[in-house]
Chains A and B, each alone.
Chain A
Amino acid sequence: MLGLVLGLTLVGVGRAEPSRRPKYGGTLRVEIGAIVSSLDPAVAAANQAEAAAKEKIGALLYERRNADGTFAGTAGSGPFRIAEWEPGKHLVLAANTEFGAGRPFVDSVEIQMGRAARDRVLDLELDKGDLVEIPPEEARRATERGIRVSTSQPDELVAVAFVAGRPAAEDARIREALARSLDRPAMVNFILQREGDPAGGLLPQWCSGTAFLFSTAADVPGAKELVSQIGHPPQIVLGYDSGDSLEQSLAERIVVNAREAGIRLIAQGSSEKPSGPASYDGRLMRLRMPSPHPRAALVNTMAAIGPIIGPIAGLELAPPAEGASAQQIYEVERGIVESYRVIPLVWLPQVYGVGARVRDWKAPAAGEGWPLADVWLEQESP
């Protein structure tokens, strides 16, 4: 049976190269919110946003990584080299014509740092930018404004991690009660504007295939029952990054959910790093997956939360070994989740606004850098 008849296009002598073949040239203009003060991998980032941006830029400058994931070799061995650098403000990268995997399509990339989210979106609309980061909670609004939005798989977990040794964090019942009280779907629907997924486990469904086994539904009666068993539950102090509006919104929502279950919880904004001395019982953490593979992602999460939550009684916190089966990975994940030392909240995607002339951009997968070497421009810079 024959289907739709093609409209044939006469193309003269020889077949034309398909229009999806990339073109070379032009300058890609990128705007980000983070302020990167140093591109030296040995210099620690001041905050998580800077660390994430530095990682993305580093992946453009270095060709190889060491076994521990740090960059190897010299800056400029990757697809781009530094052409101009004004720390914290402005970076221009030039295409590395000697790059072994082939020179990038664009001649250069200009990265503006420290741009506020609304300014980034405005610049995109005014054609002053080609590629801008958009906070996930702003994605829906950007789409409604007609912006071309590119969204990755959800690969960043926001979770509450209880601090080992803090009295309020040591009662498993209060931790479980808080976990049961949380209305994660409401967090996704109202705070994230549906750009993300409720998180019940430490790995997303697209990665492990087993996330559906972890409940994300609120169980307020169950939480109240646990609270009633405690009698006089201690007050929980929940820390969050005061410079992160999303963490603040989530913390405020947690306060409301906890109160409905009879849990006394206050949210306390702080610029303190998670590894600093704790003045809180639990804190919000953002954990970006370094790999789409379940074992590698879980090992990384365990390494990040381990120093905070400490050893889990009755559970060996050994990361799943190389070659671990899906069953083994699930069992380790379940052991951590059911300890309630970590309470997963939501999965966030990476969201980007993409200009009309940008081609072959795809939002990076977990652990990938910006694929700027593959991006090409339909027309040169205006």
Chain B
Amino acid sequence: MDWENRLRALADKVTAMAPPPATIDLIVNNLSSLSADEVAAIDERLKSELTRRRLRLVEVAPVDAYLNVTLSEGTEGYLIVAQIRQGTSEETAIFPVSKGAKNGKRSGGIVLDQQLVWEQPGVILDFALPPAAASEAPTMIVLEPGRLTFYTRKQNEWQIDQAVIIPPARPWLRAARGHIDLSQGLANGRADLPGIECKGDFQHPEAVQCSFVSQDTQPWIQGDATIPKAFDAGGDAAGVSLQCDGRAVVLATGKEDWTHADFIQGYEMEANGKGAAASGNPTEFGGPVTSLWWTGTEGVARAVVHNLKTGNYEAYIVTATCSQ
């Protein structure tokens, strides 16, 4: 985990400046969006790394070195900023930590976990992570307004393999929605925009054909058809083929417009399908959730977020589980 590596590096740095058995006065501040629980966990981890190196944490003199650690955050991720003061010398060391997965909040009900898998400056309408055989490199498909892009994961990076150009529909409408459907397998993949259908063998993108179709033949435009008609949380919703205590689970976005930070909330449908109750804590995002669909795996949805801070579009896998 990135935090662990960075905290280890910080502990090494402190050890180099104040070799054991030095006494360290440690203060940890938080200027980031990390929660109190997350900060407490990082604090504990850092203390553990320092004491493992035979440094002694003290709060009263004699102190060999003062270590002021600030958990901060900029546009490019979290930062561990360590100010190490020993005598009259002071050094500032900065350790960046990428914004990866955050822990799901476990306080009963549906537990949601989000995992950022991809981000880009251009619009993402939908994306898919097809299941890969053990011997094959993972692949990702990203649907944009003008193209369908196929990526393969090589050397820990997503690299473009091929792209299928999607002809523009007239008029060229803004905020077009899109949907990737792999329910019939990769060999019978579909990627749709309103009025346009691209289908074919997604294992061979060169064979994918796009054509104009009537929107009447595109039921996905109306949203997830598995959601009971009476359910309306104000935004988009997706059933995820999961049941908690016999109740079907639905994930739904907030209802604010696309200028606001958003969230995904889990709901448990009443057995008669006529009522629903929010369950567990929502998982929050740095911008509006512009697309939300079930991936085809129990409890797992895919979400596209337009991050208002960076301007990038972000692809997330959101996993719902029933708490014990």
Contact = CB atoms under 8 A, between A and B. Distances in A.
A20 B258 contact: yes
A207 B174 contact: no
B25 to A, nearest CB: 19
A2 B268 contact: yes
A38 interface: no
A350 interface: no
Nearest to B175: A22
A13 B229 CA distance: 8
Contacts of B172: 97-103
Interface in B87-140: 92-94, 96, 108-109, 123
Size bracket of the B interface: 35 or more
Interface stretch (A40-48, A62-70, A180-188, A209-217): A209-217
Interface stretch (B56-64, B179-187, B307-315): B307-315
B109 A327 contact: no
A145 interface: no
Interface in B237-269: 255-259, 267-268
B75 A292 contact: yes
Contacts, number: 156
A71 interface: no
Given A9-B230, A14-B229, A209 B72 contact: yes
The dominant DSSP class at the A interface is loop
Contact of B278 (A3, A105, A212): A3
A374 B290 CA distance: 13
B22 interface: no
Interface stretch (A84-92, A119-127, A236-244, A360-368): A360-368
B318 to A, nearest CB: 18
Contact of A8 (B81, B146, B274, B310): B274
B9 to A, nearest CB: 11
A193 to B, nearest CB: 24
A209 B73 contact: yes
A212 B69 CA distance: 12
A103 B171 contact: yes
A102 B176 contact: yes
Nearest to B31: A212
B230 A20 contact: no
Given A102-B172, A105-B174, A362-B259, A4 B278 contact: yes
Contacts of B75: 206-207, 292-294
A210 B79 contact: yes
A20 B175 CA distance: 12
B277 A2 contact: yes
Nearest to B107: A1
A121 to B, nearest CB: 21
Contact of B93 (A5, A99, A327): A327
B314 to A, nearest CB: 15
Given A6-B276, A8-B232, A18-B236, A210 B94 contact: yes
Contact of A292 (B92, B171, B309): B309
Nearest to A13: B229
Interface string A207-242: 111101100000000000000000000000000000
Nearest to A368: B311
Contacts of A294: 74-76
30 contacts: A2-B268, A4-B278, A5-B275, A5-B276, A5-B277, A6-B275, A8-B232, A8-B275, A8-B276, A12-B229, A13-B229, A14-B222, A15-B223, A18-B236, A20-B235, A20-B255, A22-B175, A100-B145, A100-B168, A102-B176, A205-B74, A208-B74, A210-B74, A210-B79, A212-B81, A213-B83, A293-B75, A294-B74, A360-B257, A374-B258
Interface of A: 1-6, 8-16, 18-22, 97-105, 153, 205-210, 212-213, 292-294, 325-327, 330, 359-362, 365, 368, 373-374
Query: Which A-B residue pairs are the 6 nearest by beta carbons?
Result: A209-B74, A102-B174, A3-B278, A1-B108, A209-B72, A362-B259
Interface of B: 31-32, 70, 72-76, 78-79, 81, 83, 92-94, 96, 108-109, 123, 145-146, 168, 171-176, 222-223, 227, 229-236, 255-259, 267-268, 274-280, 308-311
Given A9-B230, A15-B229, A212-B81, 20 more contacts: A1-B279, A6-B267, A14-B229, A15-B232, A18-B235, A19-B234, A101-B172, A102-B174, A103-B172, A206-B74, A210-B72, A212-B72, A213-B81, A326-B74, A326-B96, A330-B94, A359-B257, A362-B308, A365-B311, A374-B174
